[in-house]
Amino acid sequence: MKGIRRGQFLMSSQTAQSALLLLKQLKELNKDPHSGFSAGLVDDSNPFEWQLILTGPPDTLYDGGLFKARMTFPHEFPFMPPTMRFSSEMWHPNIYPDGRVCISILHPPGDDPNHYESAMERWNPVHTVESILISVISMLASPNDESAANLDAAKQWREDPEAFKKKVKQTVRKAQEEI
């Protein structure tokens, strides 16, 4: 198999192209310090694992929070989506209790086997890391309780908004202390 030697392993040409694209997107992403997020590699020898810090969107319950997350990219990127997981505690209907983010654009391309979303809503290779992060920030501002990943958070968001706000404020405070 033809490829490029990087570190201790041989990369296929697809993997090498993915790595180059990711490094380019990382460089572009960090050009604007006022974007609401910052990114870096977890390990300089692995462009497929990123650490992120997202700022809670202004004028939302998450305002003031600095939330840590990781994004892991498949070697088939941009043809397959990355996964994203908050390492900071999060209380949100569209974030699983273990921190995994559940939004349509991070779901593999094609038809949804559960018929909840159209193929147009799912991953498309034109998405960039920046478009993903903008979608996640938008999701923080506007939860979708019809497609909940955290059923308890969704139920509380619908049925007891004041308790939901209080729990999110605690989450924001904890995230501020972690940084």
Annotated catalytic sites, by residue?
102
- The whole-angstrom separation of Cα 59 and Cα 157 is 17
Whose structure tokens read 């509380």?
156
Phi, psi (degrees; rounded to nearest 5) at 42? -65, -40
Give Cβ neighbours of residue 163 (< 8 Å, ≥ 6 apart).
156
Task: Report residue 147 as tokens.
Answer: 């497609």
Give the torsion sign (CA, 176, 83, 35, 157): negative
Query: Is residue 6 within a helix (H) or strand (E), and if so which, with residue range?
Result: strand 3-6
